[in-house]
């Protein structure tokens, strides 16, 4: 009887140790759902433009899933066909999806009809895949004027940290530029069409996790900072 009790106690000790190690290894603390308590940790939003691209976007989604991190993707409309599964995966894994125009055009130079072909056409494509229309807008090149604000019919999201990852395809430099400038409430701009940007993004996640930061979508970041996003209004970040 004594030996059985010792073996039983040893089994439960090992079981509890395993559970503790599993809990400790979880990559990111759970983010409260809408309506729940606000988060006290510093928060940032990772955003990615110009995708989806099959190879790099899939790799990025894999890395974010491993870390339990949501991001916001501003998609190019003409790259949606053939990548519908990636877009559904983004939705299923808790990422936010936005519009980056159908052909990556300067929206400030367009007539009302051409604006509709660039923005509303993509909105319709996403509706056919996801069954909803509430997508944020990020104009290519950050180009915004009064006409874009009037026609957007959705909040317009730019960024507050830009490492210019498209200019110099160097993961080390991109990572350094972000880490040297990021603060609580920032919106980070990257492009998921470059392998170096995917690598840099995951390095940033790992480093900022060690510093106590958590990652949320753009809309959740705004909510956490007490800001209600308005149609036609431009947001560059949500620092205090």
Any idea which residues carry the catalytic annotation?
49, 191
What distance in Å separates the CA atoms of residue 179 and residue 234, rounded to the nearest whole number?
24
**Nearest Cα to 156, choosing from 213, 112, 225, 108?**
108
Q: Which residues contact 215 (CB under 8 A, 6 or more apart)?
A: 28, 43, 44, 45, 46, 69, 70, 71, 205, 208
What distance in Å separates the CA atoms of residue 152 and residue 80, rounded to the nearest whole number?
20
The conformation of residue 27, written as its DSSP 8-state character, comes to: S
**Nearest Cα to 189, choosing from 43, 41, 45?**
45
Report whether the peptide linkage leading into residue 52 is cis, meaning its omega lies within 30 degrees of zero.
Answer: yes
Question: And the tokens for 186?
Answer: 């920032």
Backbone φ and ψ of 210, nearest 5°:
-65, -25
- Beta-carbon count within 10 A of 231 CB: 12
What distance in Å separates the CA atoms of residue 126 and residue 90, rounded to the nearest whole number?
12
What distance in Å separates the CA atoms of residue 152 and residue 136, rounded to the nearest whole number?
9
């Amino acid at each position: 009887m004594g030996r059985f009790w010792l073996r039983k106690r040893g089994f439960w000790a090992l079981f509890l140790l395993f559970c503790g190690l599993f809990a400790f290894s979880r990559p990111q603390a759970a983010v409260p759902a809408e309506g729940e308590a606000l988060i006290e940790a510093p928060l940032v939003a990772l955003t990615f433009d110009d995708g989806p691209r099959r190879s790099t976007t899939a790799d990025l989604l894999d890395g974010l899933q491993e870390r339990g991190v949501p991001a916001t993707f501003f998609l190019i409309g003409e790259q949606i066909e053939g990548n519908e599964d990636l877009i559904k995966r983004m939705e299923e894994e808790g990422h936010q999806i936005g519009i980056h125009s159908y052909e990556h055009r300067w929206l400030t130079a367009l007539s009302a009809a051409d604006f509709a072909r660039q923005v509303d056409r993509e909105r319709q494509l996403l509706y056919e895949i996801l069954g909803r229309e509430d997508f944020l807008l990020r104009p290519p090149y950050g180009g915004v004027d009064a006409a874009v604000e009037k026609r957007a019919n959705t909040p317009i999201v730019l960024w507050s940290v830009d490492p210019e990852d498209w200019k110099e395809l160097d993961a080390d430099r991109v990572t350094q530029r972000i880490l040297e400038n990021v603060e609580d409430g920032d919106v980070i701009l990257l492009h998921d069409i470059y392998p170096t940007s995917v690598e840099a993004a995951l390095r940033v996640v790992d480093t900022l996790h060690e510093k106590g930061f958590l990652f949320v979508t753009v809309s959740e970041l705004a909510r956490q900072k007490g800001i209600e996003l308005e149609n036609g209004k431009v947001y560059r970040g949500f620092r205090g």
